Chain A
């Protein structure tokens, strides 16, 4: 065998986690090698052709604010953009885009190819080199050996992937691509626990065979917000999605295939996501509903391929086709590829530290679907964190950990590490209790300085963030200083159902009214010197309005976040013996000993650990803290 090639960091896998991990590590100066089974599959969207969405959109903006690539690739390849949840409060507004699948992958590949310090290689990793509990490199299927100080595993659904369509099945990580076999057994031999999850994807159809005239159109938004803080805007040449519905006849046809469904027949043991059920699950579990929404999403500008969102299924192909042909608009549909279910191995994430380094093998990091998550954005978020922390590890620096009150990324990783997951995990805004602080409009204020200090976010990004911050300050000053006359705004005020004004009123007072949208008000009042202030494509007036309108809420939330954070100051010593604390419930003792939380905050979020258990630990750890602060303190009997 040839002498091993040496790198600082090896990233195994080139999906959304692998791409961000490799990019981040290389940007931070580490000599990085990305090994993927197929370099043609870099940045591939294996499920729906969309980025962002509720909670996920916030993740993309955070990844971007830190200096990642997902937001840039999504902006460049987007064909339709919308802001979801506009009818709700600004904390839960979430950007979402339809993307051209081929373009997205091409953008990711080009971004990676232009990253200095990053090399790529097509091969399959089959073994890890581990010496004295520390990873030293990898061995590939073709016998090559690469050494590195840190390895990031991002193998997605490829570990022992098993694809099911009706009663047929085959090994594979995506339709048409083989599975990666062997690495699971290697890790099990190192003592890792593994589990089995499943997920599914709907059929792809030929758009030329769809009768759009009978369907409801869902266009994009004009002047939509981009994901990246570096983008000045997104395309106005947008493509529509189309809406249609199932009905009882469709449900009847689907039922005829239930006896051959791999899920109902018990051939799939892995647990699937409850919030993204297959169509057969939906009609089985919500038998009282006589219709379900289907979104027809275009896969790109230069293809007729259409993704049938809402129709994820693993029923036999002929059942899928027959059912689709009973759906309005799809009477003559041609199936390009059937829907399928995929089962794969994952590593329950309690085996990770907050840095995403594994507890068992130093220098080995896991990111993405191997940790039990689902979704491109969740994978990418873990990828960037693993990339950062692999570099930190090599430099002997403190791991970078985001608090729950600081980023959705922090919520995601804390949920995984502290609570684990038994079904594919996706972010939700409801999981982020401090969500009003974690808005999609302030990710750069929260994270860009940190990204820049790490060498990940570039100077342009930092400067734009500073410019936005300064513009925001000036806008708030203008709001408190400047007034507007009744004749300029009363028509607008009446149109949104709030009381007109009799005297000139300061803008700040109007911004406080719940019904008022300041961007619209300024435009109505022709105050273009304020309404036109944008950096990137974002209205600074809107940003100022959110801060003014919700000031009280923001303050209370910050206060609450601070009070919650106090538990995190209780570090658990490495040799703390949980099993010896008989006062804890049996379940708590068992789980704490297995998970070994880094601090009391994490302990408090482990299911089965009650508040009483946390109080007990607090008393004990406090005792420990006191006695450690008193070296040789024999006089203090504690």
Chain B
């Protein structure tokens, strides 16, 4: 039997739809000859060209008729994105041209790539470690430029290097603790428990830092989660529609129209804001709405920023002040929005707020400028935190880090209780195992599956 990575795979690497350009990617041992079958370059065959070169020419269909004028990038193994021979064909965008080029590649011997297969091959050829592979997934998932930068940092292996250092510290200690077990008669003590305590504290501190940054990391990947909250009929949905510029949510004058959460993305200065409209917060009128309100509460609690909308005519009610106070004490930034400012001057409300008319804003985006400024202003420190963090955590990383942290906590507690070294080493090894699952030092199937299944075809 020979290893499975002998065939050549192809896929369109750019997003579908209308665009100026598209890239079709080809990887595998036959990539160059398959491309040469259809590419007529102005400087001859790709087979004769050196690696890392660009070539201009025509792409021909099966009967020799030009399909498009293209630029072809040639990367020979092993110094290529996948570690195999790679040919990247930049052609005109849209649906037709890339599809015809791809069809021709299949005719010539390539096969369609499966989801994540390019990255999988890069991994197989030692181009990426697991955490780096996941960073690639995050690049794809990242919807804006800033997330791309953070993912790029992880791709450099900084995260892996940090975890590697932690693992080395713990491994050294585990070895010392275990060594003692084999010296009975001499009663030698190798592991300095005071130092172990220090190492544990340091490791737990680092892990907790990483986990607490996970939140800001997710801001870059998933966008800043802005939850629009307020009493029924305060104008939340109208405001959301104004922000995104089209009727996304049904708006009516009847209280409680928005029974579920509605999510819309908004891009401002290269940062994605994920706007979430909630059912009005108030005592439930019927069962479905009770569920909507429960979700609204949860949503407000999971928000990065809460836009709390109230009726300018009525002012901020006592129970609303209570809600806002609760959110702020949980360190949830709240932007107060006095809506319906076209109908009445704002009634009593303490502190700072933005006064707008959402209804006017639907037609006149300038109405929103103060609110947008406030939003950017509130998001800025959150983004700064995220950018300072060396890492971008996903849910899998977070779970392993937390498990490692718990195991180390057990070691600390056990040390205080005078538990013998052979037992301490069990939890030390659990922690090592969990950390190893992140960087791929420990390999198991679920890890690989979960990593590779997140890729879209073509990357």
Contact = CB atoms under 8 A, between A and B. Distances in A.
B1 A611 contact: no
Contacts of A94: 184
Interface string A74-98: 0000000000110111011010000
A623 interface: yes
A580 B124 contact: no
Given A576-B1, A624-B1, A618 B182 contact: no
B179 A430 contact: yes
Interface in B166-201: 175, 178-182, 184-187
A575 interface: yes
B422 A91 contact: yes
A560 B430 contact: yes
Contact of B181 (A88, A612, A616, A623): A88
Contacts of A200: none
Given A428-B182, A430-B179, A583 B124 contact: yes
Contacts of A111: none
Given A514-B419, A563-B444, A615-B443, A637 B111 contact: yes
B185 A293 contact: yes
Interface in B85-139: 111-112, 120, 123-126, 129-130
Interface in A184-228: none
B423 A436 contact: yes
A483 interface: no
B7 interface: yes
Nearest to A569: B445
B420 interface: yes
A243 to B, nearest CB: 9
Contacts of B440: 611-612, 615
Interface stretch (A36-44, A159-167, A266-274, A550-558): A550-558
Given A429-B422, A553-B423, A583 B1 contact: no
A433 interface: yes
Contact of B2 (A515, A550, A580): A580
Interface in A419-452: 428-430, 433, 435-436
Contacts of A581: 3
A627 interface: yes
B152 to A, nearest CB: 21
A619 B119 CA distance: 12
A195 B418 CA distance: 46
Contact of A89 (B3, B182, B421, B430): B421
B120 A619 contact: yes
B4 interface: yes
B330 to A, nearest CB: 33
Given A89-B423, A563-B433, A616-B126, A577 B3 contact: yes
Contacts of B126: 583, 585, 612, 616
A571 B124 CA distance: 18
B178 A430 contact: yes
B1 A577 contact: yes
A580 B448 CA distance: 22
Given A91-B423, A293-B185, A618-B443, A514 B4 contact: no
A615 B179 CA distance: 30
Contact of A624 (B4, B185, B423): B4
Given A55-B182, A430-B178, A611-B441, A620 B5 contact: yes
A567 B2 contact: no
B426 A557 contact: yes
A566 interface: yes
Interface string A612-638: 101110111011100100000000011
Interface residues of A, number: 52
Contacts of A295: 185
A94 B183 CA distance: 11
Quick one: which of A560, A580, A619 has the most chain B CB within 10 A? A619
A99 interface: no
Contacts of B441: 611
B65 interface: no
B429 interface: yes
B458 interface: no
A88 B420 contact: yes
B184 A560 contact: no
Contact of B444 (A88, A567, A627): A567
B417 A615 contact: no
Contacts of B182: 54-55, 428-430
B344 interface: no
B274 to A, nearest CB: 34
A54 B120 CA distance: 45
Quick one: which of B130, B185, B421 has the most chain A CB within 10 A? B185
Nearest to A613: B126
A580 B421 CA distance: 45
A566 B179 CA distance: 27
B280 interface: no
A575 B1 CA distance: 6
Contacts of A637: 7, 111-112
Nearest to B452: A619
A614 to B, nearest CB: 5
Contacts of B420: 87-89
Nearest to B83: A583
A81 B182 CA distance: 18
B222 interface: no
A566 B181 contact: no
Quick one: which of B7, B175, B179, B442 has the most chain A CB within 10 A? B442
A504 interface: no
Nearest to A243: B185
Quick one: which of B2, B179, B418, B448 has the most chain A CB within 10 A? B2
Given A429-B422, A615-B123, A623-B5, 14 more contacts: A54-B181, A55-B182, A88-B422, A91-B423, A429-B181, A436-B423, A550-B423, A556-B430, A611-B442, A614-B443, A615-B448, A618-B443, A637-B111, A637-B112
11 contacts: A85-B181, A429-B422, A430-B175, A436-B423, A436-B426, A556-B430, A577-B2, A580-B2, A612-B440, A620-B124, A624-B4
